[in-house]
């Protein structure tokens, strides 16, 4: 499987989040996962961390990244750098859907809540 059409994000089991997995172990790679997501205005991810590095590309929308006790505002054309093991949370603080691509340095992606509990995500990772 070398060429795949990019699917639009669709409703996930998590409210206010639409998701499409564009690449990962099911597609034939285990060092990379790519998640295309939409986060509705006013919504946020839970605070969480990953066992692998993450890079988020923001294509549309405005938000805040909370990490290390700091708040970083971002908008379209921003790249968020999230080294592995760093607790973080992303908020859509704007008035339009936030369109992102999450790139991870592993597949599957292992996600933890701040207390160390594994967060089971409702999509292919």
Q: Which residues bind its own copies (CB under 8 A)?
A: 1-6, 22-23, 27-32, 34, 52-55, 57, 65, 67, 70, 72-74, 77-84, 103-106
- The residues pairing with 70 across neighbouring beta strands, listed in sequence order, are 67
Handedness of CA 35, 13, 78, 52 (dihedral sign): negative
For its own copies, the closer of residues 13 and 86 by Cβ is 86
CB of 113 to its own copies, least distance (A): 20
Q: Which is nearer to its own copies, 23 or 121 (CB)?
A: 23
CB of 70 to its own copies, least distance (A): 8
Of 37, 86, 84, 43, nearest to 59 (Cα)? 37
Count of residues in the chain: 125
| Residue (3 or 116) nearer to its own copies, CB | 3
Shortest distance (Å) from residue 15 CB to its own copies: 26
DSSP 68-97: TTEEEEE-TTEEEEE-TT--EEEEE-SSS-
């Amino acid at each position: 499987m070398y060429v795949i059409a990019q699917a639009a994000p669709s409703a996930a089991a998590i409210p206010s989040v639409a998701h499409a997995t564009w690449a990962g172990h099911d597609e034939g790679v285990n060092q990379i996962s790519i998640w295309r997501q939409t986060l509705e205005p006013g919504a946020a991810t839970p605070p969480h961390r990953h066992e692998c590095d993450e890079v988020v590309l923001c294509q549309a929308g405005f938000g805040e990244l909370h990490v290390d006790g700091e708040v970083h505002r971002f908008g379209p054309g921003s790249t968020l750098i999230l080294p592995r093991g760093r607790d973080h949370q992303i908020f859509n603080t704007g008035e339009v859907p936030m369109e992102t691509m999450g790139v991870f340095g592993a597949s599957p992606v292992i996600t933890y809540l701040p207390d160390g509990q594994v967060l089971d995500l409702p999509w292919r990772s």
